[in-house]
């Protein structure tokens, strides 16, 4: 199966919403005339299978210890990638970065079987300004994780790549939004 082609089809069929006027409010607060609801894919059995295989193929030769990112967007991507990696006898652990440290117990902000020094990829469904990605990178770096890059399903091409680069992180998008919004 061509996982990238199938993911493109799923995004066009389920996730991309386009309007004539900016009616969609983004997490950045900005209004847009299009919206990518990738949870319709990441939280779907076929979508998880496709994304897990695609991300695994992207990272397997770099030998990461783990993949994860800021909850909730990164969680299903990390779990799917981890499951596919295990099925390929090359386990890559998933991890979750909480938005805030846990208010009880050990007070952790990173959940999962990662330890300082582990090589990781930060995952993201959609990158606009990279605010969520940068938060995840900051927490992961403070924890002692070595960040190999930030993988996004779609880069909205609105400054995220530049913002990540300024902080020393590489954005590795599967798609750029211009691929879907061709005139």
Helices (H), the chain: 3-10, 39-42, 45-59, 75-87, 131-143, 160-166
Number of domains in the chain: 1
Q: Is residue 15 part of a domain?
A: no
Cα gap 91→65, rounded to integer Å: 8
Q: Is residue 109 part of a domain?
A: yes
pLDDT tens-digit map of 130-173:
999 999 999 999 999 999 999 999 999 999 999 999 999 999 99
Q: Is residue 44 part of a domain?
A: no
Q: Is residue 30 part of a domain?
A: no
At residue 115, the 3 state secondary structure works out as coil
Q: Is residue 3 part of a domain?
A: no
The CATH number covering residue 115 comes to 3.40.50.2020
Task: Say whether 132 counts as a known binding-site residue.
Answer: yes
Task: Say whether 104 counts as a known binding-site residue.
Answer: yes
Q: What is the pTM of this model?
A: 0.95
Task: Say whether 124 counts as a known binding-site residue.
Answer: yes
Task: Say whether 14 counts as a known binding-site residue.
Answer: no
Q: Is residue 86 part of a domain?
A: yes
At residue 147, the 3 state secondary structure works out as strand
Domain residues for the domain of 169 are 51-179
pLDDT tens-digit map of 19-67:
999 999 987 788 999 999 999 999 999 999 999 999 999 999 999 999 9
Q: Is residue 4 part of a domain?
A: no
Q: Is residue 36 part of a domain?
A: no
Task: Say whether 39 counts as a known binding-site residue.
Answer: no
Task: Say whether 128 counts as a known binding-site residue.
Answer: yes
pLDDT tens-digit map of 115-125:
999 999 999 99
């Amino acid at each position: 199966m061509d996982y990238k082609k199938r993911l493109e089809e799923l995004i066009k069929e389920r996730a991309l919403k386009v309007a004539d006027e900016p009616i969609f409010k983004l997490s950045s607060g900005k209004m847009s005339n299009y919206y990518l609801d990738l949870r319709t894919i990441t939280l779907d059995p076929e979508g998880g299978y496709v994304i897990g295989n695609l991300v695994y193929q992207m990272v397997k030769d770099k030998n990461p210890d783990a993949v994860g990112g800021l909850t909730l967007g990164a969680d299903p991507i990390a779990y799917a990638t981890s499951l596919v990696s295990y099925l390929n006898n090359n386990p890559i652990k998933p991890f979750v970065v909480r938005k805030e440290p846990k208010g009880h117990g050990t007070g952790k902000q990173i959940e999962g079987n990662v330890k300082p020094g582990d090589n990781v990829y930060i995952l993201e469904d959609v990158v606009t300004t990279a605010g969520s990605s940068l938060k995840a990178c900051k927490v992961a770096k403070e924890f002692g994780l070595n960040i190999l890059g930030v993988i996004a399903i779609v880069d909205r091409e609105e400054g995220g790549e530049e913002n990540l680069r300024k902080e020393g992180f590489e954005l590795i998008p599967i798609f750029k939004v211009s691929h879907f919004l061709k005139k």
